[in-house]
Structure 1
Amino acid sequence: MLDIRGVTKSYGTRQVLSDVSFTVGDGRMTGFVGANGAGKTTTMRIILGVLSPDSGTVLIDGVPVTASDRRRFGYMPEERGLYPKMKVAEQLVYLARLHGLSPASARRNTTNLLEQLGLGERAGDTVESLSLGNQQRAQIAAALVHDPEFLVLDEPFSGLDPLAVEVVMSVLAGYAAQGAPVLFSSHQLDIVERLCNDLVIIAEGEIRANGSGEALRDQHGRPRYEIRTAGNISWIRSQPGITVVDFDGDYAEFDAETDAASQAVLQHAITLGAVHTFSQQRPSLATIFKEVIA
């Protein structure tokens, strides 16, 4: 388990992190989301030891992380850091060897990863000859090639087309399934929502929300409702405790101040005729994100 406790960081008089604390559990995919400049990259660099915190600590299973521990991390920076004129496979083998893998293990891991990520046919190409999306895949492979026990990835889905996103999601989910704690940042909230077990939302250097997706939905944002009836439902606008979000004759989408208010809508609709559908829509991550950073 990776545990970040009370981390603060300032550059001169500007504080960029304030008492940042959260946990990345074994086998859990944790999405780290926030606007540009919120503190995501600084936090990740402190986890990796690239930066030192002013206070606070990073722990593995309750023990402060050491330089030796960090060799077990797989890190992907937001900025591409591969050698552009080096061949893809040659570079991955080199990076695996730097982490202590034997030549045979380095070559085997490289071959397997390139196949998984759809780059098998590009193994002998230079990095600079790849498209930006394929360069991103190669960067992800570089973070994984040494069989890391922890993954910290900064915007791994940036620049990927929808098919590539699915491929990378599958690979990362496989690492989590093997028990690795996986932390990644992303601005693509739909991907975070689909992939992650846990969410950490940061704004202005402070953690605003932290927990499982279900827990955050319970804590933030009212559920939204949809109803479709056999007749016109314009009367819903005058129902107490109801705010109509969308309306189209026999259909309405609405927010309710209380469960009782939503049930009153349903009961009134039944007295007027047939109700074809009535459902509760859980708040999306985008809705929760907007609420907690406001």
Structure 2
Amino acid sequence: MICLGDGSEACQYISLGKFLDRSGKVDHVEVVRCLRCGHGVSLPPLPNVAFLYQDRESQDFQPDAKGLSHEIKDIAFRSQARKLLRQAGGARGTILDFGCGSGQFTRVLGEMVGSASEVIGADMHSEPPAELAERPYLGPEELGSRKDSFDIVIALHVLEHDDDADGLLRTISGYARHGGKVVIEVPNVDCVWARIFGKFWDAWYLPYHRHHFTRNSLVRLMQRNGLQIESVHGVTVPTMGRSFADIAGGTNNLFWLLLGILAHPLQVLGEVLTRNSSAIRVIAVRK
């Protein structure tokens, strides 16, 4: 991989050691990180990651979001949606939520924009998730015919899930019309909590996360794929509860969610003091 620092040399990787295999399907997983640009890559290579998501049971599909957990996440998603819309300049035209997962955020965003815009979810499965059973959804076949047609394309915590980050980014941005907005959000490997929790930090999430971005590596990746950067934002994504669950060897559930809520002010404080948020959101324009 060409280094995402100055782009003149190849990355110089060192291993961060073995990590927990959250899928139970790969066994030995590790992360290597570039000494020059800080960008990380998961090993072993997985040219096709579809087998990790076939059953919609990974945490990417929020299988634990039921009852009170579901209501709490609705509140959190509404707050995130308000900030995203403000940063992107408001809702207009058609919005594609690429890699929508459970569809819960997609539904919340659609409810918020109302008739001002149409929000359409899309993912790798032909059938929509339960959250989007009565809302617009595009499976892989339908999505293929919608290139160059959306006013805003958002991909929240999607880009890190494929070995070919360049190829996936080109696919995502290709759904935006020329002059349309592309919103990419990924975990920030420079976050203070990655250092404090170490391999138990929830956002490492191996083997599902294939790339581990810094602010600069994400911006440079988007620039080299022809996107004009409009703004870069730090985003606090709740990671404390699942990080505590990982330390305890527990399964994510309502208890860990509530513990994460109690620890959330501490998470925010740590990110503010260190000026390194748990996630990075870049808003760009497709030329």
Which interval holds the TM-score relative to the shorter structure? Answer: under 0.3
What TM-score, normalized by structure 2, do the two folds share? Answer: 0.28
> Highest Rg: 1 or 2?
1
Q: Where is the strand percentage greater, Structure 1 or Structure 2?
A: 1
